[in-house]
Amino acid sequence: MNKQKGNEQPNMLKWAVKFAASAGIAGILCCVAPAVLFMFGLMGGVYAISFADFFYNEDGSVGVGSWVLRGVAVAIGIYGVYAYRKKQNQCSVDPDRKVLNLVLLTLTIVALSVGIFLSLEKWSSWYFDKYIVPAQQEELFGE
């Protein structure tokens, strides 16, 4: 069977993982970026916390910046489904199978991206409490 490169069915799992990882990371970038930069010694504790605080309100609740990042994450997921549908429509696949593939892809992207988001949120909270906050206290007060 000789398929041309542009007319083959896209791999649904690879597609879902790619867009779910992108969406999950984009949604929690406010906390992961300063943690990673601190981890590599490119940012101090005070700056890492002030960077993350930019995305939250003073009481610790989710701020406008976090909602913008979450909106970007949703947009990435929606674009992933749209692009898959467009690519899938170039193939001669049974229409019922196309709908099933689209539903499965959507559910997979949602589940994986939410899982990645929540896992990174939990990890970044732990990392901030364990390493960044003590470094901030030492930088500010010399304790």
Task: Chunk the chain into consecutive blocks of 10 residues (it has 143) and report each block's average pLDDT, rounded to whole numbers.
Answer: 58 94 95 93 91 86 92 97 88 80 95 97 95 92 76
pLDDT of residue 142: 80
Do you know the residue count of the chain?
143
pLDDT of residue 129: 94
Question: What residue has token string 């049974």?
Answer: 94
pLDDT of residue 10: 80
pLDDT of residue 70: 95
Residue pair 33/120 in contact (Cβ under 8 Å)? The answer is: no
CB-neighbour burial class of residue 36 (10 A; exposed 0-12, middle 13-18, buried 19+):
middle
pLDDT of residue 143: 59
Residue pair 17/109 in contact (Cβ under 8 Å)? The answer is: no
* 58 token code pair: 């003073």
pLDDT of residue 57: 85
pLDDT of residue 5: 56
Phi, psi values for residue 62, rounded to 5°: -65, 130
How many CA within 13 A on the CB side of residue 116?
24
Residue pair 91/97 in contact (Cβ under 8 Å)? The answer is: no
pLDDT of residue 1: 41
Residue pair 129/36 in contact (Cβ under 8 Å)? The answer is: no
Domain locations in the chain?
12-141
pLDDT of residue 2: 43
Distance from the first to the final alpha carbon of the chain? 70
